Amino acid sequence: MFSLNRVFGSAINGLDDLRGWTLNKAIQSHIDVYLSQETFIELQRSFPYLISKEFASGGGDVPAFRYHIINDGEPFEIEDTGINVTPFAVHHGRIFSRLPPAGYVITPTATLPSTPNKSDIRALSPEPGEQKFGECVAKEQPEATIHPLLCFGFKIQEQLVYISDVSHIPDHVWGTLQSKRGDSAQQLPVLVLDCLRLRPFISHLGIADALMIAKKIGATKTYLTGFSHEVTHEEYVTITEAIGGKLKNKNDLTESEKTGLELVQGGGQIWVRPAHDGLRLIINKDGSGEIIAHVPFSDPWPIVSLAYFLRYPNPYAAHVISCDVISRFQTASGTLVTTRLILKRGNLPRWFPQGMMSKTESWIIEESEVDPFGRIVDCRTRNLDHVKIMRVEESVQFRQTPEGIFSGFGWGLTKRIENHGLTRFKANMQRSREGVSLMLSLIRQSRLQPMTLGGEPYPLTHSTEAQDHRHNVSQSPPVGVWGKLKSWFHPPSS
């Protein structure tokens, strides 16, 4: 399923390539497309075989679409999912014509083959307002009025507002965008907003205008999208972090970062980040959700990645019984793919129905991909047991930019079970972070001593915390870094 918000080539020219998605039901039998009547007419004119297969040529293989006409300001439901979407029209630049826009924007009259001269163009394309009847010519000069090009934005439930192409938001639309009440309970969780470049453009927002709109909408988190290539992702991260209060040394700023910060000065802090490929927002059927933000580590990406894989065992993960690598290989592109099988133990809440789960231990499958070139660790875990009661899928991504986790929940007993799972997940996430932090500390220490099981460590002189710890255990035999790990799960007998 997808929705078309406009008739531009960048929005519709890739539709034909979706034939591989539906051909012989390779992935699904058809794709639902939600679009306005104007967009449908223009699509029919540009790609008639996408509307009616009798216009297909060649081998006749075309994508299978099911079209749904949507109207400005009228909510619609995505099939029978219970997810309601409200489209709203915003300005996306202007129409460069002296005529008012028709029901749909027509393509200029075709010209003769090769390069036509002015008389050819004149013969084929009359001036606006000019009507030809044989030898008679009647002219009527239209009023010079600028007409905006309208484009859809979308509000999904009360959870997400998506506006990818906008230069101005009309006054009457703000009632749809803003919360029904002014309290934090009704605060919009996520806003995805257009930002072409730092400075404004006739059909897109610049960084200052995007920030002004984001503040007015007041979402918990705002992601900017639709960038040109003048400013790098890292530079946008620096600019948006500064908007949230995290300032960088001026001497370390690039020219683009300095320009961006000059354009967004003042107006209070707000959480905003550049969107990126792979960013996923999960919205459940009832639209409820909770955002859990990751706190970034200060260590370099290679060290954090290593610490994450070495996090078991550690004293913060006593619920982890075992962790075994069952598959590991390197792809042709250099990505390391690892599958691990983890056995965890947990306690059921008192209110949990008896007999629903026969044991409190659960097998977890962890699948991870390490891209050393893109500097991304993408890790996904899911439970193998008790899937008829609750399926838990968690994802963690380590990269050199901040990242968030989004989750949604149901109702009734399911809601209570999932809320319990959420509570446990939040607690486990914190313990996981503490475990990774502990491993980072040990890795720092390992640079100053041999990483052996039980070997005598070198003197620790660069860490006050390590010095204090060494002082506390000075009466005990010296233990190496990995000896400490072993002692947590195999303490010496008294």
DSSP string, 309-322: HT-SS-TT-TTEEE
Two structure tokens written together for 469: 């710890």
* Element spanning 170, H or E: none
pLDDT in tens, 52-90: 877 777 767 888 888 999 999 999 998 877 888 999 999
Asked, for residue 337, whether it belongs to a domain, the answer is yes
Q: Which of 379, 408, 437 is the last residue of a domain?
A: 408
Residues 228, 66: Cα–Cα separation, whole Å: 32
Q: pLDDT confidence of 193, banded at 50, 70, 90?
A: very high
In a domain, 383, yes or no: yes
Has residue 97 got a pLDDT over 90? no
Asked whether residue 288 is domain-assigned, the answer is: no
Please report whether residue 220 resides in a domain.
Answer: no
What pLDDT is attached to residue 5?
57
Q: Which domain holds residue 466?
A: 454-494
> Does residue 374 sit within a domain?
yes
C-alpha triplet 403, 207, 257: angle, nearest 5°: 75
Q: Which two tokens stand for residue 168?
A: 């101005």
Question: Residue 226 region, left (φ>0) first, then alpha (ψ -120 to 50), else beta?
Answer: left
Q: Which range is least confidently modeled, 108-117, 199-208, 338-347, 364-373?
A: 108-117
320 part of a folded domain: yes
Task: Establish if 229 belongs to a structural domain.
Answer: no
pLDDT tens, position by position, 221-244:
899 999 999 999 999 999 998 888
Question: Are 312 and 391 members of one domain?
Answer: yes
pLDDT at 64: 86
Average pLDDT of every residue of the chain:
72
CATH number at residue 319: 3.30.530
Rounded CA-CA distance 302/306 in Å is 6
Mean predicted confidence (pLDDT) in 22-47: 86
> Is 474 contained in some domain?
yes
Among 131-145, 309-323, 396-410, where is mean pLDDT lowest?
396-410
Total domains in the chain come to: 2
The confidence score (pLDDT) of residue 76 equals: 92
Is 197 strand, coil or helix? strand
Q: Which residues contact 432 (CB under 8 A, 6 or more apart)?
A: 311, 316, 317, 396
Question: Domain boundary at 408, 429, 463, which?
Answer: 408
What pTM was computed for the model?
A: 0.53
pLDDT digits (tens, 9 = 90+) for 281-316: 665 444 444 444 445 666 777 888 888 888 887 777
